[in-house]
Amino acid sequence: MKLVLVAAVALIDPDGRVLLAERPQGKSMAGLWEFPGGKVEPDETPEACLMREIEEELGISTWESCLAPLSFASHAYEEFHLLMPLYACRKWRGTVAALEGQRLAWVRKGDLKDYPMPPADKPLVAALRDWL
């Protein structure tokens, strides 16, 4: 089975809310909410991937030193196995914007359970809630 490495980030604002992004129509699992991030390219670290992805998707930038490893998901989908490290980030430069037309939501930790998520993201919510 093919292994896919995807890096994700929990951006946490000064009020302790976490940013979620809705998967857009036309993508697999459209309409589900997830932590921002994306596939790690060959010869790219998960941290470099996240810095690239949040700039492309959200118009913000951060530093590798501001990405704290928090947890990870290991989930078998039908066609591939997903390994997804989740980082926490509280410091970035710029204003978060939906550059790819995706809906965004700043969510309080107690409300994270109310957002339908892909199966791989769900276990990360509990780890994040405990950490916050």
The structure tokens 């589900």 sit at 32
Q: Label residue 36 left, alpha or beta by phi (over 0 means left) and psi (-120 to 50 means alpha).
A: beta
pLDDT in tens, 38-77: 999 999 999 999 999 999 999 999 999 999 999 999 999 9
Q: Report pLDDT for 45.
A: 97
Confidence of residue 29 (pLDDT cuts 50, 70, 90): confident
CATH number at 11 reads 3.90.79.10
Number of domains the chain contains = 1
Domain span at residue 25? 2-131
In whole angstroms, how large is the CA radius of gyration of the chain?
Answer: 14
pLDDT in tens, 92-120: 999 999 998 899 999 999 999 999 999 98
Q: Residue 30 pLDDT more than 90? A: no
Question: The whole model's pTM is what?
Answer: 0.93
